[in-house]
Structure 1
Amino acid sequence: MNRVCEVLGIEKPIIQGPMAWISTAPLVAAASIAGGLGVLGVAFAPEPFIREQVAATKELTDKPFGMNVDMYVGDLEMTTRIIKDLRPPVIYADTYINLCEKKDLAMKYFKNWHDLGCKVVVKASTVADAITAEEAGADAIMLKGWEGGGHVSYEATTVLVPQAADAVSVPVIASGGIADGRGAAAAIALGAEGVEMGTIFMAATDAPVHPNVKQAVLDCGDMDTVITGMCTGEPCRQIKNKLSDELLKIEAENVRAVSGPKVQEISMSSLRKAMAEGDMENGAVMAGQIAALITEQKTVAEIIDGVIAEAKEVLAKISGFEF
């Protein structure tokens, strides 16, 4: 049996990435019902909203699902209280970089969550962080390359995944730059046992997001995303627009000490402006480079089943490739 499926109790090794303002109960339940793992994007949300979303997801499905927890920002004690009360099956530990410097924190909370009966999946951005995650007790590790949307690091998925697969013994999941069966097959060839996708689910018919966002993803070309926020230490990939132009201008014209606070101030609530209000100029649509391959809306189930079917076809063809 596929180890990702075995560890997480799911049927198909596809994880729906957590995205703020998008990965709420309807999308998450749809992904889990389709056989993958839906993940709530609630890491920065207030406690009542997190509780509401976990409860709502349980109402919609009895399949395993996850909720993301930020390992650097927020009240981990508060989050653990919610986990204790509501017992989401999987905790998705969202990290950016340098988890290796916070090993004690990871060991403490991973143990707490395991003791509450939860599985722990860790998103890592470096090989060192992947090793730390395994040492702290992670059940599976997500390696996200800089091709992905939202928070990114500095290495490509194709570089991170094989290194991590060689360095850890727990299942590795590839993330960043995957939106079809070809990407999934490539990830498997690199050593991954499952894949995470985010951007493609933004355009899903099931996604509870403003229609303007879905259209922006469908219209996105191969050079239409940009990374902003390098000066903050938390760079993000998003679709180019008025907001991204303004952020990049600030970064180019100011030293980091000045540009960082300015970028953070202007970025505040930019996700809500796009995802909830449909403002495509002043809001942030955090799509990955793979958006250019997304040309039509499909249901979550069609996305998951289509990726798996195509991956099987690609892998079958590869087995007959001659050098």
Structure 2
Amino acid sequence: MPPGSSGLKADTFIKRECCKHTTLSKKTKKDFHMRNRLCEVLGIQKPIMQGPMSWVSTAPLAAAVCEAGGFGVLCTAAATPDFIEQQVRLMKEKTDRPFAVNMGLHPAFLPEEYFQAVLDILKREKVAAVHLDTLCDATMRLDESFARHFFDQWKEAGIKIIAKVFTVEDALTAQRAGADVIIAKGWEGGGHTTMQTTMVQIPQMADVITVPLVASGGIADGRGMAAALIMGADGIEMGTAFLAAEETDIHPRAKQAVLQAKDFSTVEIGSSCNMPCRQLRNALTDTVEKLEQGLSYEEAGSKVMELTTNSLRLAMKEGEVSQHGAVMAGQIVGMVKSIRPAGEIIDSVLEQCRYLLDTAPAVSLR
């Protein structure tokens, strides 16, 4: 029931109803905790997850997030088992805190032989969780029997399951299949996009799922985190906010492209391939837009795939950000203004969030 209906002041309502699963404590600027059920499930101090980003979310960044009390995620989408094992071992050299390995929950990315090879690595290295991206194909819904086949084996190995979804239906399917955490990603986010905004998704999912819920897409500071908690989330996932982190191992020109971006610098392309993605506008996106506007999706799809193959690597590793490369970023990219340590980014978000929740304006709706 909204504050105006019950006569409660806004700050009372926020603290009593929306953030009842979250406990805030602040000792010093360095020792800032925000404990809730997401932290308990994942074994972390701060309910902030670092989103997986191809060619970005490697061990240096993910480990820095873990060391700062958050939850780091290695992006290993379609990577070879050898590369995954290398990254996992590098993570364990840098941190003894829990982290996840990201995988695409899609038939094209999880053939049985590949799955078993990666599962062996996760079990052998005692990786805490898998972070599953179900957003690989905008036309598909998550199939429960398909999900259970993999979920059951992860759970038997003691591996937590984090499922990223973009519909209430998929959230419920993932929960029934055994997901320990649900991430709802909104249309504002970078990379693979969804059809609804974060503000639309979170309240609807919070009403029906019982496992911890994480808000993703369009969040880069404490204001976004406070809003997510108020809407019913247990934590947040940020990707774009970490693109310019000191520990992010990408080409300097890619970081500069992020720092120079503004609020309207991103564009969504790739619908013709059923894989719409949000990225910084450049010559590549202009070409793809023209193709998708001038041809049928069937005709455009193959051409778009050809143009965009290796575009992420070109931008992130070779610094080709203007013509043929792709810098995936969300709509909040204009809020990323400086290069900072990942830990500083996390603490600034938490401190601002805490301040806002503690000092919510006492506004009565009449």
Task: Provide TM-score, normalisation by structure 1.
Answer: 0.97
Find the aligned partners of 1:169 and 1:9 in 2 and give their Cα distance.
18
- Structure 1 window deviating more from structure 2 (77-86 vs 249-258): it is 77-86
Per the TM alignment, residue 206 of structure 1 is displaced from its structure 2 partner at its CA by 1.1
Q: Deviations over 1:96-131 (max 9, x none)?
A: 157744111211211111111111110001111000
SS of corresponding position for 2:49: strand
Rg larger in structure? 2
Corresponding residue of 1:255? 296
Please give the per-residue CA displacement for 1:211-265, whole angstroms capped at 9, x wherever unaligned. 1111111111111100000111110000000111111111111101110111011
In structure 2, the residue matched to 1:89 is 128
Alpha-carbon offset, residue 319 of structure 1: 5.5
- 2:345 pairs with one of 299, 303, 306: 303
Which one of 73, 81, 84 corresponds to residue 39 of structure 1? Answer: 73
Task: Pick the aligned partner of 2:116 from 77, 85, 106.
Answer: 77
What is the alpha-carbon distance in structure 1 between the residues aligned to residue 174 and residue 340 of structure 2? 34
State how far apart, in whole Å, the 2-side matches of 1:136 and 1:77 are: 19
2:28 aligned partner: none
2:350 aligned with 1:316: no
Select between 141-150 and 107-116 the one with higher mean Cα deviation: 107-116
Please give the secondary structure, in 1, of the residue aligned with 2:201: helix
Shift of 1:48: 1.0
**Structure 1, residues 156-209: CA drift from partner, whole Å, max 9, x if none?**
000011101111000100000000000000000110010000001111111111
2:344 maps to amino acid: E
Q: Which amino acid aligns with 1:84?
A: K
5 Å-filtered alignment, 1:140-179, equals 140-179=181-220
The alpha carbon displacement at 1:77 in A equals 3.0
State the SS of the aligned residue for 2:189: coil
Where does residue 159 of structure 2 map in the other structure?
118
Rate the CA distance shift 1:53–1:237 in 2: closer, same or farther, 3 A: same
Give the equivalent residue in structure 1 for 2:333: 291
Q: Which amino acid aligns with 2:123?
A: K
Q: What residue is the counterpart of 1:221 in the other structure? A: 262
CA distance in 2, matches of 1:101, 1:198: 23
Query: Using the alignment, how far apart are the partners of 1:253 and 1:77 within structure 2?
Result: 43
Per-residue deviation, residues 280-305 of structure 1 (Å, max 9, x unmatched): 11110000000011111110000001
> 1:23 deviation in Å?
0.6
Equivalent in the alignment of 2:39: 5
What SS does structure 2 have at the residue aligned with 1:318?
coil
Distance 1:101 1:33, change over 3 A: closer
Q: Which residue of 2 aligns with 1:206?
A: 247
* Structure 1 contact 220–292 (Cα < 8 Å) conserved: yes
AA aligned opposite 1:43: A
Q: Matched residue of 2:248: which SS?
A: coil
CA contact (8 A) 1:83 1:113 kept: no
Q: Which residue of 1 aligns with 2:83?
A: 49
Structure 2 stretches lacking a partner, 5+ long: 1-34
Q: CA deviation at 1:5?
A: 0.2
Displacement after TM superposition at 1:86 (Å): 2.2
Q: Which amino acid aligns with 2:101?
A: M
The structure, 1 or 2, with the larger RCO (C-alpha pairs under 8 Å, 6+ apart) is 2
Alpha-carbon offset, residue 153 of structure 1: 1.0
- Structure 2 SS opposite 1:120: strand
**TM-score scaled by length of structure 2:** 0.86
Question: Percent identity of the aligned residues?
Answer: 46
Contact 2:142 2:174 in 1 (8 A): no
Aligned mates of 1:293, 1:116 — CA distance in 2: 40
Give 1:78 shift.
3.0
Residues 139 and 274 of structure 2 are in contact (CA less than 8 Å); yes or no, is this contact kept in structure 1?
no
